[in-house]
Amino acid sequence: MPVRKIPKSYRNVTGIKADTKAIGQARFESPLERDFIALLEFSPEVSQYEVQPVTIEWQDEWGKPRCYTPDIRVEFYPEIRRKPWLCEVKCRSGIKKDWDILRPKLRRGLRYARNNGMRFRLITEVEIRTPFLDNVRFLQRYRIQVFPEGPVEVVLATLRNLGEASVQEVLLTLSGDPWVQAEWLPVIWHLVAWQRVGIDLETELTNSSVLWTLR
């Protein structure tokens, strides 16, 4: 569970993200943290994550107590063979502005991560605001939709028979009627959103995007 309670703020964007991989509640304090959590939810490499997992305490050179709470710990599936990440999520402008305050905290975070078998990562908008995030935002709406298992199985069976195929090829196999295809399309994106169908999330999602079955 988060070690520090995140207060409501009228100056910043705060909230709780709907999640499936989070240990405890996936609280966020900024739009950048919210977007990073969305990426973690959709990443096929991430097994789980925890918001504000630990508070690191120390005394500065004058003996004054100091503490630092990293934003998120990320864990990966064993087959990825990657050390867990201990992450600080911050806009680049904020890093530059608050560098004198942040530097000792980040150094402690780096030391803590090394001593505990993790890798410390400073995550900025450069790593977050990517085509992958655009695709995640597009797919999020399809996660909340519910479809009967019948149509879902029809799409999966069609894709199994085709092998790798574009969204448009799957639609054409399902029906030659554009109106009927429009009814099948949300089912396809729903399967992609729940990672039951594979797709390249690093490039723009279109009807030309190639699909493949995962399970």
* pLDDT tens, N- to C-terminus, the chain (215 residues): 444 443 333 333 333 345 589 888 778 789 999 999 999 999 989 999 999 999 999 888 888 888 999 999 999 999 999 999 999 999 999 999 999 999 999 999 999 999 999 999 999 999 999 999 999 999 999 988 899 999 999 999 999 999 999 999 999 999 999 999 999 999 999 999 998 999 999 999 999 999 998 86
pLDDT of residue 70: 96
Q: Which of 98, 128, 158 is the last residue of a domain?
A: 128
pLDDT of residue 5: 42
Q: What span, in angstroms and rounded, lies between the C-alpha atoms of 169 and 210?
A: 9
pLDDT of residue 151: 94
pLDDT of residue 199: 94
CB atoms within 10 A of CB 64: 8
Q: What span, in angstroms and rounded, lies between the C-alpha atoms of 160 and 157?
A: 5
Tokens 């087959």 -> residue:
79
Q: Which of 105, 128, 151 is the last residue of a domain?
A: 128
Picking from 183, 182, 185, 191, the residue whose alpha carbon sits closest to that of residue 156 is 191
pLDDT of residue 6: 37
Sheet of 210-213, strands arranged across: 165-166, 210-213, 197-198
The answer to whether residue 6 sits within a structural domain is no
pLDDT of residue 19: 59
Same domain, 19 and 113: yes
pTM for the whole thing?
0.79
The answer to whether residue 38 sits within a structural domain is yes
Q: What is the CATH number of the domain that holds 114?
A: 3.40.1350.10
Same domain, 93 and 149: no
Domain that holds residue 117: 15-128
Task: Provide the total of helices (H) and of strands (E) in the chain, helices listed first.
Answer: 8, 11
pLDDT of residue 10: 33
pLDDT of residue 62: 85
| Total tally of structural domains belonging to the chain | 2
pLDDT of residue 44: 87
At residue 175, the 3 state secondary structure works out as coil
Same domain, 142 and 53: no
The answer to whether residue 3 sits within a structural domain is no
